[in-house]
Amino acid sequence: QSVLTQPPSVSGAPGQRVTISCTGGSSNIGAGYDVHWYQQLPGTAPKLLIYGNINRPSGVPDRFSGSKSVTSASLAITGLQAEDEADYYCQSYDTSLSGSVFGTGTKVTVL
Amino acid sequence: QLQLQESGPGLVKPSETLSLTCTVSGGSLSSSNYYWGWIRQPPGKGLEWIGSIYYSGSTYYNPFLKSRVTISVDTSKNQFSLNLSSVTAADTAVYYCARAPRYSRTRFDPWGQGTLVTVSS
């Protein structure tokens, strides 16, 4: 039922920059609702990585950055590190569902 | 530091009701500043929001699950609970509880560690 689409996987070598897209529509991102991003390391609970489209919680390295366009958002990881290997999810609010929606998830692999 | 901990049976029979509790420590469930939510993740799959509750008892649910979901709050115990009725194997998942600010109800932070619930006879 996810209405936010992400690429299933992205990969990069250590030190490289990778980006993850999150494509929505007029009832969620396009309606102006904030996008949040979560990082889920293997076997652990998701952790808030970016909130309000571009903001990092305390303790999150500035290698992680978020951006938002009309009906989509992106997460960028610069200076990729082995510890960044995880699943990443975007999230927003959807008016047609009257609730929270998560993206389909993207697995980041460090080559 | 706020911590959330899920608890409940790890095995539920088909057609029965799944019941979980989230215990909040290091903070008050009675705060007017937060919503409290449940999210689940089937094995090997993505995240799905189930529903959220305000300390006053006001709730909102995922419309795809609404007919089977009840979320309640017990401020005296600093706990909130999830009941999911008529479960099937498709409800097998890790269930997480989490907190969200009142002004940003989708922003979940922090999360509990999660508890695996298997639906099987």
pLDDT given at position B72: 97
- Please list every residue in chain B whose beta carbon sits closer than 8 Å to the beta carbon of residue A32: none
| pLDDT at position A76 | 98
pLDDT at A106 over 80: yes
- Give me the pLDDT at residue B61, please: 96
* pLDDT higher at B106 or A3: B106
In this prediction, residue A54 carries a pLDDT of 98
- Work out whether the CA dihedral A84, A87, A88, A91 comes out positive or negative: negative
Q: Which of A2, A93, A99 sits opposite B46 (nearest CB)?
A: A2
What does residue B106 show for φ and ψ, rounded to 5 degrees? -95, -10
Chain B positions touching chain A (beta carbons under 8 Å) = 37, 39, 46-49, 51-52, 60-64, 96, 104-114
CB nearest to B109's CB, from A1, A48, A99: A48
How far A16 CA sits from the closest chain B CA (Å)?
A: 26
Contact B46 A103 (CB under 8 A): yes
* Interchain proximity B106–A91, CB inside 8 Å: yes
Q: How many CB atoms are closer than 10 A to CB B63? A: 12
Question: B115: part of which helix (H) or strand (E)?
Answer: strand B115-119
Tell me how far apart the alpha carbons of residues B48 and A75 are, in angstroms, rounded to a whole number.
Answer: 20
Biggest CA pair distance of chain B? 42
pLDDT band at A3 (very low <50, low <70, confident <90, very high): confident
Name which residue leads in pLDDT, A36 or A97: A36
Query: Which residues sit opposite A19 in a β-bridge?
Result: A76
Considering only CB atoms, A1 lies closest to which of B64, B110, B114, namely B64
Preferred mutation among A37, A100, A102 to probe B, highest tally of B CBs within 10 A: A100
Q: Looking at the complex, does the CB of residue A104 fall below 8 Å from at least one CB of chain B?
A: yes
pLDDT at A1: 63
Distance of residue A17 Cα from the nearest chain B Cα, in angstroms: 24
Nearest to B77, CA basis, from B9, B6, B23: B23
Separation in Å, CA of B49 to nearest CA in chain A = 6
Q: Which residue has the higher pLDDT, A1 or B19?
A: B19
Report pLDDT digits (tens) over A50-65.
Answer: 999 999 999 999 999 9
Closest CA to B69 of B52, B82, B88, B55: B82
Alpha helices in chain B (DSSP H): none
Exposure class string for A1-35: b at 16+ Cβ within 10 A, else e: ebbbebeeebebeeeeebebbbbbeebbbeeebbb
Q: What is the mean pLDDT of residues A35-51?
A: 97
